[in-house]
Amino acid sequence: MDTDERLLRAFGQRLRAVRTASGLSQEALAHAAGLHRTYVSSVERGERNIALLNILTLATVLQIDAGELVADLRRAPNPE
Q: What is the pLDDT of residues 27-79, one digit of tens each?
A: 999 999 999 999 999 999 999 999 999 999 999 999 999 999 999 888 755 55
Residue 80 binned pLDDT confidence (cut-offs 50, 70, 90): low
Half-sphere exposure of 70 toward its Cβ, with a 13 Å CA cutoff?
A: 14
Radius of gyration of the chain (CA): 13
pLDDT value of residue 78? 57
CB atoms within 10 A of CB 75: 9
Domains of the chain (ranges, CATH numbers): 3-68 (1.10.260.40)
Cβ–Cβ under 8 Å, residues 31 and 3: no
